[in-house]
Amino acid sequence: MKLAISGKGGVGKTTLTALLAQALADQGRQVLAVDADPSPCLAGALGFPDELRAQLRPISQMDALIEERTGAKPGAVGGFFTLNPRVDDIPERFSVTHRGVRLLEMGAVDIGGSGCICPESAMLKTLFTHLLFRQDDILILDMYAGVEHLGRATVDFVDALIIVVEPTRRSLGTAAQIKKLAADIGLTRLWLVGNKIRNQDETAFLQANTPGVPILGLLPADLRVQEADRLGTAVYDHVPALKQETETMIQRLEATD
Ligand SMILES: Nc1ncnc2c1ncn2[C@@H]1O[C@H](COP(=O)(O)OP(=O)(O)OP(=O)(O)O)[C@@H](O)[C@H]1O
Ligand SMILES: [Mg+2]
């Protein structure tokens, strides 16, 4: 199962990715979680210990590796470099595993094609495509805010695109944009997850205003989410209400798989 998590900035993409990844790992699934944010923070949400976090660095920042594989220094303009560098060893070599979740930090990936044609984007695009082709049991992609990264490669392979929203018009507006973009490239398997919900009114608001995307789950606002971050513990362990709703969401996902 390959899942991509998207949505407006700050709505809870990373939190949801961490919840789903840990819940699936606890069920004994092999989980590869990929942090595609330019400033990664999935390791924190998963409660990875400091010594493991210290071993992680986004692939996008590994200049020597990018040069070794593409034949050109990152940032180089002009000149020759390979557009399909070797990447098959990267997920195993540069990820770390904690409690059954293997985590890879990619850094920002511009799959949509609006970015530069340069060694680093060739490297990341190839890696991204490789991840989508791999036969991982579970792949979860924590995408960064916005929609422009949603390219063809994404939709050909992800089983579901999960759009996280808060009970606000703005985040629902972004969700509608993502839905449109997804439709443009043929991805129709979408789910909406409402996050930071404080009361019945907010639940009703979300239900009445979804951009025609079925609701996978509704996660309550809980101050313990921030507390988990402060304490460096996994949000999955620290916030029982979220753990419980995550398990329900997984049942729904699997029922339609
Ligand atoms: N259910 C919740 N209750 C309370 N706070 C939450 C909840 N979910 C997320 N948060 C808080 O909201 C903030 C943003 O969450 P998160 O980092 O998961 O969002 P994001 O969509 O990944 O953000 P970004 O776009 O910056 O990557 C964090 O401070 C997090 O602690
Ligand atoms: Mg995030």
Each residue's pLDDT tens digit, 10-40: 999 999 999 999 999 999 999 999 998 888 9
Closest ligand 1 atom to 7 CA:
21
Sheet order of strands, 215-220 included: 96-98, 101-105, 31-35, 138-142, 2-7, 160-165, 190-197, 215-220
Per-residue pLDDT tens digits for 88-129? 999 999 999 999 999 999 987 665 555 567 888 888 888 888
Instruction: For residues 245 and 14, give the distance between their C-alpha atoms in angstroms, rounded to a whole number.
Output: 16
> What SS3 string covers 5-27?
EEECCCCCHHHHHHHHHHHHHHC
Residue closest by Cα to atom 8 of ligand 1: 12
Return the ligand 1 atom nearest residue 17 CA. 18
Other C-beta atoms closer than 10 Å to the C-beta of 79 total 10
Q: Residue 191 — pLDDT band, cuts 50, 70, 90? A: very high
pLDDT of 75 higher than 70: yes
pLDDT surpassing 60 at residue 179: yes
Pairwise CA distance, residues 32 & 142, whole Å = 11
The set of residues, in sequence order, having a beta carbon less than 8 Å from that of 132 and lying 6+ positions away, is 2, 139, 153, 154, 156, 157, 158
On whether the CB atoms of residues 214 and 26 are closer than 8 A, the answer is no
Residue nearest to atom 15 of ligand 1 (CA): 12
C-alpha 71 to ligand 2 mean position (Å)? 31
CA 81 / ligand 1 centre spacing (Å): 38
- pLDDT tens digits for 37-68? 888 999 999 999 999 999 999 999 999 999 99
Instruction: List 154's β-bridge partners, or say none.
Output: none
Q: Whose CA is nearest to atom 26 of ligand 1?
A: 10
Q: What are 209-240's pLDDT values in tens digits?
A: 999 999 999 999 999 999 999 999 999 999 99
Residue 202 has pLDDT above 60, yes or no: yes
Nearest ligand 1 atom to alpha carbon 223: 4
DSSP conformation letters of 159-191: SEEEEEE-SSHHHHHHHHHHHHHHHHTT---EE
Q: What's the pLDDT score for residue 163?
A: 96
Looking at the CA of residue 221, tell me the nearest atom of ligand 1: 3
Pocket probe for ligand 1: among 5, 6, 8, 14, the residue whose CB has the most ligand atoms within 8 Å is 14
Find tokens 């990715």 and name the residue.
17
- Alpha-carbon gap, residue 217 to 206, rounded angstroms: 11
- Domains, the chain, in order of start with CATH, read 2-255 (3.40.50.300)
DSSP string spanning 11-78? Answer: SSHHHHHHHHHHHHHHTT--EEEEE--SS--HHHHTT--HHHHTT---GGG-HHHHHHHHSS-TT--S
Beta pairing, strands 96-98 & 101-105:
antiparallel
Average pLDDT, the chain: 90
Spatial CA neighbour of 171 closest among 142, 194, 143, 144: 194
Q: Is 229 in the pocket of ligand 1 (CB under 6 A)?
A: yes
Distance CA 112, CA 125 (A): 10
Query: 96 C-alpha to center of ligand 1: Å?
Result: 23
Q: Which residue has the tokens 């770390």?
A: 96
| pLDDT > 70? residue 152 | no
For ligand 1, whether the C-beta of 222 sits within 6 Å is yes
Ligand nearest to the CA of 229: 1
Residue 145 binned pLDDT confidence (cut-offs 50, 70, 90): low
Taking a C-beta distance cutoff of 8 angstroms, is the pair 157, 133 a contact?
A: yes
Question: At 104, is the secondary structure helix, strand, or coil?
Answer: strand
